[in-house]
Amino acid sequence: MSFRILVLYGSYRIDRMGIRLAQFVVDGISARGHDVELIDAKAVGLPMLDRMYKEYRPGEAPPAMAELAAKIRAADGFVFVTGEYNWGMQPGLKNLTDHFLEEWFWRPAAIASYSAGRLSGARAATAWHGTLSEMGMVVVSSTLAVGPIGQALSADGKPMGDAGKALERAFPRFADDLLWWVEASRDQRARKAPPY
């Protein structure tokens, strides 16, 4: 059974380190036979939030927004790859996420966090947990936390050193947790329409 998973990443920096973790997650879930797509907020290029997708009349939303809305609706689950900026979330990923609401409902999400330091983006991951729950997603309990990211993953997202080995050991549980909830939620949506 194959699932459709979106991996969302939001750094706008020139020398982005978190893209390494996003690629690692894409590769890891793809290797399990699933259809995985990286959604890079910088590449999508949505403007700062003015109107949500649902606030446009049909056919009038910017094309990139309409295309992403369709991808979100078609997905079985999500992974949010987040860095930590001053104890908080990356604005690029938050801005991309906030353009949508109902599109996210009734699907699970997992959080993978990173930082240049040893705390691995843990505070951003904590902030995302409540936000994603409020947006109608079930947030799985397993997380990935990587730091210092420059010592854990190479430029092409391959594990290296002791930190990379620790990440490889943590990934199976992270993926198993997400995919269990993905299967459960897809089966439930097929069995019974969501209540709203």
Confidence at 54, pLDDT banded by 50, 70, 90:
very high
Residue spans per domain, the chain? 4-191
CATH number of this structure's domain 4-191, picked from the four choices 3.40.50.300, 3.40.50.360, 3.20.20.30, 3.10.180.10: 3.40.50.360
pTM of the model: 0.97
Q: How many percent of the chain have pLDDT more than 70? A: 100
pLDDT digits (tens, 9 = 90+) for 158-196: 999 999 999 999 999 999 999 999 999 999 999 999 988
5 — phi, psi (to 5°)?
A: -120, 130
Pick the closest to residue 103 from 166, 56, 141, 34 (CA basis): 56
So what's the pLDDT on residue 127?
A: 96
- Crossing angle between the packed helical segments 161-191 and 18-30, to the nearest 10 degrees: 60
Residue 110: enclosing H or E segment and its boundaries?
strand 108-114
Confidence at 117, pLDDT banded by 50, 70, 90:
confident
Distances, alpha carbon 25 to alpha carbons 41, 78, 82, 178, 183, in Å: 16, 11, 12, 12, 18
User: What's the farthest any 2 CA atoms get from each other in the chain?
Assistant: 52
pLDDT digits (tens, 9 = 90+) for 6-22: 999 999 999 999 999 99
Q: Which residues contact 185 (CB under 8 A, 6 or more apart)?
A: 76, 77, 106, 107, 108, 138
Other C-beta atoms closer than 10 Å to the C-beta of 54 total 12
Output the CA angle 98-104-106, nearest 5 degrees. 145
Cα–Cα distance measured from residue 141 to residue 122, given in angstroms and rounded to the nearest whole number: 13
